[in-house]
A = this chain, B = another copy of it.
Amino acid sequence: MSFQKLDELGHRLEALEHALAILGADEAIHMAVGGGEKRAEAMGTLAGMYHRQASASEIAGWIDAAEREDLDEEQAAAVREFKRHYVNLTCLPAEFVERQTNTRMRCEQLWRDLRAKNDWAGFLPALEGVIALAREEAAMRAQVLGLGLYDSMIEQYDPGNRTADIAPVFDTLKTFLKDFVPEALAVQAERLAKRPLKPLSGVYPVDRQRELGLAMMAAVGFDLSHGSLSVSHHPFCGGVPSDVRITTRYRTTEFLSSLMGVLHETGHALYEQNLPKKWSHWPLGKARGMAVHESQSLFVEKQLGRNPAFWQWALPVVDKYLGESWSMDDIIPHVHRVERGLIRVDADEVTYPLHVILRFELEQDLIQGRLQPVDLPEAWDAKMREYLGLSTIDNPADGPMQDVHWASGAFGYFPSYTLGAMMAAQQWAALTKEYPAADRDIARGEFAAINGWRRDKIWSQASRWSTPELLERATGEKLNADHFIGHIRARYGAV
């Protein structure tokens, strides 16, 4: 039976994924500094084994045959996802993938070096190489998938998402935010004029912050028997669903940024920990994609963790671990701080979407050949001035050089961040409509009912539905900007 062969393949691939995931987390958390070269060699070889096994030509026949076998609904869904993975993995010739990998790696290395030196001219030829290959890649993917160029790139990250659906929603959001950012800043200025910001600085030992983080993780639903919290230079959520490794970093003079980071990664972790275990060796059993994943982290960080109700419960917990008696009036202005800035990763939830929409617009033009890499600094600057009133023309390091995504060839990924934020708001709205006591629960540190809804609607569904189908089944609505706009208006607007 061909389904059986796919099932066995799934077990082999799961073992290699397990090794790669743990080796990757280990590298960032525990590896000795001199271990990197051999680690890269081992992971490269294992990734090659994975690719060879997952793209073997006989799999096409197994999938064809399995589609004609007498399968139950779950198995049929499993075959659909096996096929999707297989097609995405085999639509590029091996020779092309190798050339692309080398070009990307060289560009990433250059980026690390030249961003620090603000050297756009030195970086440009390498980026041009990556973009030329990305255009070739999009053409090949589009051909195989029967999609548009940019849609075929998005499809790798968020199956089912289409530019035609996303662009109007982003336009609505952009129009709203261009006006709303000044409003939110004015509201904030007025409040701060009445009550100046109390600095959050203090002395917060790492072990106390760590205990606080663990307590919050556990309260929010992280299963500490299937995961752990460590330290790494860049926070991440890695490992495997049976053992999720999340990380943070600490500053001993301030606790809020680490704590919010822990909540964000806990959101990713909850999704992984609650995926259906019996599907774990099938593509069907994986998280749906980047946008949905980000909706889960942003749900915990923004919808829960920056909700004032959360801080009613959290302040005594912070006090217990850090011995710091903050009041709601002290903390909330920090939790809801809005600031115009050049850097996406430092942005708050009000300004962040404008950073993403700028990239979404530019990378479509780049992939479709309407914009040339050499013209990026001007194009970036023009949009940055229009959307956020800031110029980057003399500062490409904080303009088109600020992210690694394009250097590493990840076109189509950026929209996921803001799609995640909108989906999180849409999920919160649907949840609170069904369960109006959510705020009361949060204020008591009770997350069981909220997580029950999320497990039912999102986590247990894994890759059963396309990204837009999953959202619509969970919330009863197609993706739209209304709930996110409502959320931002309520939290940051004039009363």
Contact = CB atoms under 8 A, between A and B. Distances in A.
A466 interface: no
Interface in A6-48: 11-12, 14-16, 18-19, 22-23, 26, 29-35, 37-39, 41-46
Interface stretch (A224-232, A283-291, A472-480): A224-232
A42 B30 contact: no
A240 interface: yes
Q: Which of A11, A19, A230 has the most CB of B within 10 A?
A: A19
Contacts of A26: 22, 26, 30
Interface string A385-400: 0000000000000000
A15 B41 CA distance: 7
Contact of A32 (B15, B44, B227, B280): B227
A243 interface: yes
Contacts of A230: 30
A348 interface: no
B228 A30 contact: yes
A107 to B, nearest CB: 25
Interface string A205-241: 0000000000000000001111110100000000011
A280 B39 CA distance: 13
A242 interface: yes
Nearest to A44: B15
Interface residues of A, number: 40
A223 B29 CA distance: 19
A468 to B, nearest CB: 31
B23 A39 contact: no
Question: Which secondary structure dominates chain A's binding surface?
Answer: helix
A166 interface: no
A230 B230 CA distance: 14
Contact of A12 (B30, B38, B45, B243): B45
Interface in A219-272: 223-228, 230, 240-244
Nearest to A29: B30
Contacts of A16: 46
Contact of A243 (B18, B22, B34): B34
How many copies of this chain does one complex carry? 2
A18 B43 CA distance: 9
A49 interface: yes
Contact of A223 (B34, B41, B226, B228): B34
A216 B44 CA distance: 35
Q: Which of A34, A223, A225 has the most CB of B within 10 A?
A: A34
Nearest to A47: B15
B33 A225 contact: yes
Contacts of A15: 41-46, 49
A30 B30 CA distance: 9
Nearest to A281: B41
Contact of A18 (B33, B39, B49, B244): B39
A19 B42 contact: yes
10 nearest A-B residue pairs (beta carbon):
A35-B243, A15-B45, A18-B42, A38-B242, A34-B225, A19-B19, A34-B226, A15-B42, A32-B243, A35-B242
Given A19-B19, A38-B240, A38-B241, 10 more contacts: A11-B45, A15-B46, A18-B38, A26-B26, A30-B228, A31-B243, A34-B226, A35-B226, A35-B240, A38-B242
18 contacts: A11-B41, A12-B45, A12-B49, A15-B41, A15-B43, A18-B38, A19-B19, A19-B23, A26-B26, A26-B30, A32-B224, A33-B225, A34-B226, A34-B243, A35-B240, A35-B242, A38-B241, A49-B49
